[in-house]
Structure 1
Amino acid sequence: MVSPTAFEQAWKLGDQVPGWLTVDQATMLWRAALRLGPGARIVEIGSHQGRSTTVLGLAARSVGATVVAVDPFVEGRLFGGTPTRVSFEKNLARAGLNDVVRLEDEYSTKLRKQWNERVHLLYIDGKHDYWTFTDDMLWSENLVPDGEILVHDAFSSIGVTCGIIAKVLCGNRYVYVDRAGSLARFRLTRPGRADRRRVLAEMPWFVRNVWIKVLLRLRLRPVARLFGHDGPYDPY
């Protein structure tokens, strides 16, 4: 039995790690992990400095599950390379998760082709272009029936959202369940009409997010505030 304060303690550690995961999104990750059983495997695509990894790892430990963190730690200013990996490893060590989290230092699109382990929960927060995201969704071929897929920057990133339209709205493998901000939850099962309508219902929010991104690029933050966005970063 997980104590009521367990999430607060996990979030206290996770929130010390730089990143864009919000407390509501961390709660969604936490609850998804708690629905798993002993021996379950969580695959996280895109770990960065370990903000979400910390939350998933602590939740996984409480139910006897493990986490596989997939991140190539590409060198360069955008992704941080080796310094980011060092920060990731330090953050996991501080949370005491070295025995729970296994790092796969590889591109998710390459690792997927040789992967042969069962996956019980899939969390996707990798590269946000359409091609990489839709390839990452193919990790679901290893997912248990009715398994959950959590996707960050859904209905915010253009590439990710186009992938959702193509593979979820127009596909027959995934059902959209709900979201916390841009963290959307899907289930591996055949969708019905109501499921597709839920995806369509998110399109106005997606258009609003794209518009805010345009305003931020034009340095029109006061205008963005009129649409409910107060901050220098893209909606997430």
Structure 2
Amino acid sequence: MTDGFEEAWSLAEPVKGWMTRDQGLALWNAACRLDKGDLIVEIGSHQGRSTIVLASAARTVGARVVAVDPFVDGRLFGGSPTRQRFEANLRKAGVEDVVELVAEYSTKLRPRWDRPIQLLYIDGKHDYWTYTDDLRWSANLDDGREILVHDCFSSIGVTLGTIAKVLFGRRYTYLDRATSLARFRLAPPSAKDRLRVVAQLPWFARNVGIKILLRLRLSPVAKAFGHDSPYDPY
């Protein structure tokens, strides 16, 4: 299933973003499990790093990608310049024909959405309320389909949402993760499935601790816990 991934990653890696190679491979494999005519929805695209991987994989199976991102103006988000880079990056990678961009808030688009989805990738705003609303896009998935979530067991808002909706919920089963990219299936979880969510919480606590250390400018201490980067763990 990894045939073609190295080429896709060579196109995606130069694009600014927070997706690692292993996370990109998880996206690639999930998209390659789809069939001709299937649809991927990506919530949160930034400059297109993950979009390029998903679109490259989608092309191999005849699927398509809808990228949902409002490209909000402001110092933290980049607004229209980020959208321009996103579109330029897709053109450079040669995947713009596989991607449909919807420049809108996912929470506002969701109530109007009426198209079936076969794969959902969530990497939007990381607060509890937005993330749990983004999970509601799964109403457009058939049972057994996959949902991938970035910054899970790393972001506080995303992890709290996962605890509420996965650990204590009845709709989602946790499968595995590539660092903070978690994979879920739309299926009722067993008790064993719930315990596997609990097993991720020490890693989450470690990530929160590292974030605190970085904000206190205690990078050498964070390094002692295995985090050799100026950026938050993801």
TM tier, smaller: over 0.9
Q: 1:146 maps to which residue?
A: 144
Q: Distance in 2 between matches of 1:97 and 1:23?
A: 19
Q: Deviations over 1:180-217 (max 9, x none)?
A: 01000000000000000000000000000000000000
Q: 2:223 maps to which residue?
A: 225
**How does 1:1-236 map onto structure 2 within 5 Å?**
4=3, 6-236=4-234
Report if the CA contact (8 A) 2:2-2:29 is conserved: no
Q: Deviations over 1:37-64 (max 9, x none)?
A: 0000000000000000000000000000
Q: Deviations over 1:112-168 (max 9, x none)?
A: 010000000000000000000000000000012111000000000000000000000
Q: Distance in 2 between matches of 1:209 and 1:72?
A: 28
Q: Structure 2 length as normaliser, TM-score?
A: 0.99
Q: 1:3 and 1:29, CA in 2 relative to 1: closer, same or farther beyond 3 A?
A: closer
**Structure 2 residue runs without a partner (length 5+):** none
- 1:99 is paired with a residue whose SS is helix
| Matched AA of 2:17 | G
Q: Distance in 2 between matches of 1:16 and 1:77?
A: 22
Q: Distance in 1 between matches of 2:32 and 2:184?
A: 16
Q: Structure 1 length as normaliser, TM-score?
A: 0.98
| Matched AA of 1:178 | D
Report if the CA contact (8 A) 2:47-2:89 is conserved: yes
- 2:96 is paired with a residue whose SS is coil
Q: Distance in 2 between matches of 1:185 and 1:83?
A: 31
